[in-house]
Each structure stands twice: as C-alpha cells, then as structure tokens.
Chain A
Amino acid sequence: MTMQLEHIGESDSSHHPAPSAYVGVAAILAIVTAAEIGLYYVSNVDAWLITVSLLVLMAIKFFLVAMWFMHLRFETQVFRRLFYGGLALAVAAYAVVLGASHVFPFWA
C-alpha cells in the first residue's frame, strides 16, 4: 500500500493503449448505443425482457468506459477499490430502498 501511494501523481505513459484502441472502444460504444435505441422500438417482446437487455447493454457501456477511458484496468488497486466501493455502496443502498418501496415488480 505504501509503495502504491508513493507512485500516485507520477505520469506513466507506458500503461496507455494506442489511440486506435480508444477509437475501437468508441466504435463498440456507438454500436451498443444503437442496439439500445433499437431495443426501445421493439414492441413484440415482454417489457421485463427489454428492461433486462437494456440494463445489460448499459452495464457493458459503463464498464467499457470505466476500464478503458478511465484507465481503471491500469490503475493501482486502491483506486479501483475506492471507485467500486462507492459504486457498490450506492447500488446496494438504493436497491434496498427501492425494493422496500415496492419499485421492483419481482420484489413485492
């Protein structure tokens, strides 16, 4: 942990992918976004299936941006824990609140 903290603030270009990799990730994000919008207009499928599919696509985009654009995959573990910790806390806390308020149809 001490060694990791010593290196905070040091610029390190060795962990950054080539610009073409970022363009590739952006293309994937655009395709996934198009798929999400396409799902919005689908009418012959149950709403819960569309909802789950949209949330899965949303999660894919979320982690693509976090891992690649925010360089989370190259960061030290302490930063990953800070971000994922806050994210997990937020998701858990609000899932409980929403569940208790009967927002989820499967959690009466």
Chain B
Amino acid sequence: MWAFLGSECLFFGALISTYLLYRGRSAEGPLPSDVYDIPFTSVSSFVLLMSSLAMVLAVAAIYRGDERRMRIWLTTTALLGMVFVGGQVFEFTEFVRQGLKLDTNLFGSSFFVLTGFHGAHVTAGVLWLLSLVGYSLRRGIGPEKAIAVDVAGLYWHFVDVVWIVIFTVVYLVPQ
C-alpha cells in the first residue's frame, strides 16, 4: 500500500501541477472568484477530516479486538465520506449552473479533472469500507486480520491528505 501511495503522490502531483500551470490563464470566465463558495467547501473539508478520525478509531478498535466498535467507526467513516462526495456533487452542479463546465475554460477543465479524480478516489474508499463492514458481519474480522483494516485506513488517510493539499492550493491560496 505504501508503494501504491507513493505512486499516487505522482498522480495527484501531476493533476495539481496542471491546475497551477493553468491558473490565471483562462481567456474567459467563470473564474474561481466567480464560483467558489469557501464556507461550503470548508464544511466539506471538516467532514473529511473527521472521517479520518473515525477511520483511525476503527483501526485502533480492531487492534484491541473490539470488532463491534470497529464496525461502528468504519460505518461512520463511510457515511462521512458519502457526505463529502455529496457535497462535491452539489458543488459541481452549482458550478455547471453558473456556466463552468469541463470544456468552458482552462480553469474548468483542470478543476473538474483534479477534484473529480479525488472524488472518485473517495467513492472507491467508501465502497472499500462498506465491503469491510459486510465482511466483518458475515465472517468476522479478528485482531489477526486487523492489517486489512489498517491498509484500508492508509488509503483513506491518503485521500484526506490529498484533499488537505487541494483545499489549500486550489481554494484558499490567493488567485
């Protein structure tokens, strides 16, 4: 998983670099200042941060042998992840409503590709976590299999770390 995450650093690095390369070079709007809703995105960011807390508590629970609490925290993580993805979907539809689409300008294409891929990673993570919950309910996960939850946790935290970078570089840094 660490090797995979190392390669994911390169992948998201490419997408973030492309966004930075195209920043301020769109010939026409809408531009970031026209569409960004920082308070809304801040709430989304907080939700994803708290999902990381829930995930690490799930991992801690299974290492203690508390499978029931692990399931609770895994489900909480997945729910918070779904809330985040729902927020992203809402944000995307709002941007489209305001005239920003994938092919509108450089900002649109780089923004949607970057955040879209991130959202896809979060979605995959949610499905992974829910499958772990299902496996736990059907066959059980004991401390000897805790590494499976730990690996899922690494993926989830990495997705959160990528959003930490995206939120700052894409949304907060002055244009």
Closest Cβ neighbor of B17 among chain A residues = A94
B57–A98 contact, CB under 8 A?
no
> In whole angstroms, what is the CA distance A51 to B143 when docked?
44
B73 CB to nearest A CB, Å: 10
**A66-78 Cβ-contact flags toward B at 8 Å (1 or 0):** 1011110001000
> In whole angstroms, what is the CA distance A55 to B16 when docked?
14
How many B residues touch A, CB cutoff 8 Å?
A: 51
Chain A residues close to B by CB (< 8 Å):
9-11, 13, 16-19, 22-23, 25-26, 29-30, 33, 36-37, 39-40, 47, 50-51, 54-55, 57-58, 61-62, 65-66, 68-71, 75, 79, 82-83, 85-87, 89-91, 93-94, 97-98, 101, 103
Chain B residues close to A by CB (< 8 Å):
2-3, 5-10, 12-14, 16-17, 20-21, 23, 38, 42, 45-46, 49-50, 52-53, 55-57, 59-60, 63-64, 143-147, 150, 153-154, 157-158, 160-161, 164-165, 167-169, 172-174
